[in-house]
Amino acid sequence: MFKIRKLGLKLLLFICLLGIANTIFPGTFSIFTSPEVVYAMEEESTNPILLDAIENIRIYSTYNYQTLNDTKLNQLSTGFYLPLTYGEVELTWEVDNQRIVLDENVQSITVSSVTGDVVIDVIEGRIVSLPNAFAGNDPFVLTATLFFGEESASAVYTGQLVPVMPDGFWEGAFFTFFRYLSLFVEGVVTTLLLSLAGTIIGFFLAMILVMLRLLKPSEMDSRFIRYAKVGLSTFSKVYVTVFRGTPMIVQAAFFWYGLGLFGNALLCGLFVVSINTTAYIAEILRGGIQSVDSGQTEASRSLGMSGLQTMRYVIFPQAIKNSMPAIGNEFVINIKDTSVLSIIGIFELFNQTRKIAGMHYRQLEAYFVVALIYLFLTYTVTKLLQAAEKKLDMPIQELKSSN
């Protein structure tokens, strides 16, 4: 039992460390990295007209006529149209994958471009079959040969066919979960990182904030100290009121879109969670301090300990212990509430799910899966915290010689 608890905590820590490492050294851990962009060209000609054509050839989706160049070829599950001409350049196409058939019939389609709608001649690349649900992506190579007078050149496009999502709800949900596991894990790591680091940072800031709140001017202080104490205590009060009284989503938008803090959305998000949590934990700690019997303070003061020493060695340890369940709860709340940081473009679990949901245009399954993942996280963390609390039930801390 004991060992399992320890293991759980270590695992949590490990995932978070991995996440931090991944943020600092992107790409070190393959499960967190998306595939490389798969758009490539081969140029053997120096003819500017051919080069221009290679630059500008567009492949269009049969689904919505959008261009598929760049990353979208890499997530292909619909057919596509291949242009037969580009200005005076003529094109022929080849594909190396059995699942794709290039139709001989020439069709005319209307696509929009900067100069307005244009009609172009295309052939259709039809997808005969998609890889089955749990197979990996199926890579393919499209080769275009470009002719211009005597000269020719070729352009090579690589892409991947993605499996189809099965029709049924449960099948779809399983598919979503397993197929995008690494994306979900990536989201979970970011979410845990934000909420855990945010809670820990918030905890330490809250300790300072609550200290300020408890400053009381006494008759022995000089005038300046008295004003300083009142000022700091008021600041603490106002801080709590402001950050508890405004939604985190607004705070996030304010600090990121408004102030562009840190120039890095993830750091800005961590900042927002931390300062938000600070306000809540400060209130928790204040309650915890007030719940410590005043006799403890009197006993400590009667032994000659200063107000600060009394705080540090007697009141705070007890207040923190009393507050632990509520602080743990704050962590659990943060796991859920960091989802609002998706609005500043952080790919935490919720935003990651939005991305996944968009890939197959199947919202229900994706959000069902993520609901379960959130539930799993909050439940596990709650249980781990309960176990940890039990273990800490008798915290006799070490006394150190130094002051």
Partner 1 sequence: MEPIIKIVNLKKSFSNNEVLKGINLEIHQGEVLSVIGSSGSGKSTLLRCINLLEISNSGEIWFENERLTDNKINLNRLRAKMGMVFQSFNLFNNLNVLQNCMLAPMKVLGVSKEDAIRNGLKNLEAVGMKDFAYQNPKKLSGGQKQRVAIARALCMNPEILLFDEPTSALDPEMVGEVLEVMKQLAEKGMTMIVVTHEMSFAKEVSTRVIFMDQGIVLEENDPQSIFTNPREERTKAFLKRILS
Instruction: Name the site residues for partner 1 (rule: CB under 8 A).
Output: 219-220, 293, 295-296, 298-306, 309, 313-314, 317-318, 321, 394-397, 399-401, 403
Tokens representing residue 141 in the block: 């190579």
Residue 215 CB, nearest distance to partner 1 (Å)?
A: 18
What is residue 40's three-state secondary structure?
Answer: coil
Tokens representing residue 311 in the block: 């705080």
Q: How far apart are CA 395 and CA 321, in angstroms?
A: 8
Nearest residue (CB) to partner 1, 31 versus 303: 303
What is the amino acid identity at position 15? I
Nearest residue (CB) to partner 1, 252 versus 314: 314
Alpha carbon distances (Å) from 255 to 209, 335, 394: 21, 20, 41
Residue 388 CB, nearest distance to partner 1 (Å)?
A: 17
Residue 400 CB, nearest distance to partner 1 (Å)?
A: 8
Q: How far apart are CA 326 and CA 268, in angstroms?
A: 25
Nearest residue (CB) to partner 1, 143 versus 309: 309
Nearest residue (CB) to partner 1, 103 versus 221: 221
Residue 211 CB, nearest distance to partner 1 (Å)?
A: 18
Tokens representing residue 193 in the block: 């990182």
Residue 330 CB, nearest distance to partner 1 (Å)?
A: 22
Residue 290 CB, nearest distance to partner 1 (Å)?
A: 15
Q: How far apart are CA 227 and CA 233, in angstroms?
A: 10
Q: How far apart are CA 340 and CA 44, in angstroms?
A: 49
Nearest residue (CB) to partner 1, 70 versus 293: 293
Q: How far apart are CA 158 and CA 96, in angstroms?
A: 10
Nearest residue (CB) to partner 1, 245 versus 295: 295
Nearest residue (CB) to partner 1, 245 versus 304: 304
Asked if 54 and 155 count as a contact pair (C-beta separation under 8 A), the reply is: yes
Residue 394 CB, nearest distance to partner 1 (Å)?
A: 6
Residue 219 CB, nearest distance to partner 1 (Å)?
A: 7
Asked if 9 and 380 count as a contact pair (C-beta separation under 8 A), the reply is: no
Which class for 15: exposed (0-12), middle (13-18), buried (19 or more C-beta within 10 A)?
Answer: middle
Nearest residue (CB) to partner 1, 177 versus 203: 203
Alpha carbon distances (Å) from 43 to 36, 40, 50, 153, 154: 21, 10, 9, 7, 7
Tokens representing residue 276 in the block: 């938000």
Q: What region, left, alpha or beta, does residue 171 occupy, with left being phi > 0 and alpha being psi -120 to 50 degrees? A: alpha
Tokens representing residue 322 in the block: 């009393």
Residue 365 CB, nearest distance to partner 1 (Å)?
A: 50
Q: Please count the other Cβ atoms lying within 10 Å of the Cβ belonging to residue 164.
A: 15
Nearest residue (CB) to partner 1, 170 versus 313: 313
Tokens representing residue 148 in the block: 């211009």
